[in-house]
Amino acid sequence: MNFDNLLFRINFEITAVVADRDFASQVERMLEADLAKSRLMAPGVCDRRPWWFRFAVKLARLTAPVQ
């Protein structure tokens, strides 16, 4: 659960408590696999992307409920 401005104004999240070790293990493996595929990005990397990519990112931000 995130305690931030968005949570208190527009709640698009749901919190669940799951007491199932098998399910928790599956989620842990899924997250570890996602992290293994990720890479650290240095500051400014996105600034060197093509103009259309930067435009698309800014356009996508318009769909965010609160910035």
Region 28-47: mean pLDDT is 93
On whether the CB atoms of residues 66 and 11 are closer than 8 A, the answer is no
Six token digits for residue 52 = 């259309």
Write the pLDDT tens digit of every residue in 50-62: 999 999 988 888 8
| 49, 55, 57, 59 alpha-carbon torsion, rounded to 10° | 180
In tens, the pLDDT along 2-25 reads 666 666 666 666 778 889 999 999
User: Distance (Å, rounded) from C-alpha 45 to C-alpha 36?
Assistant: 20
Structure tokens at 47: 């600034």
Separation CA 30–CA 32 (nearest Å) = 5
* pTM, to two decimals: 0.52
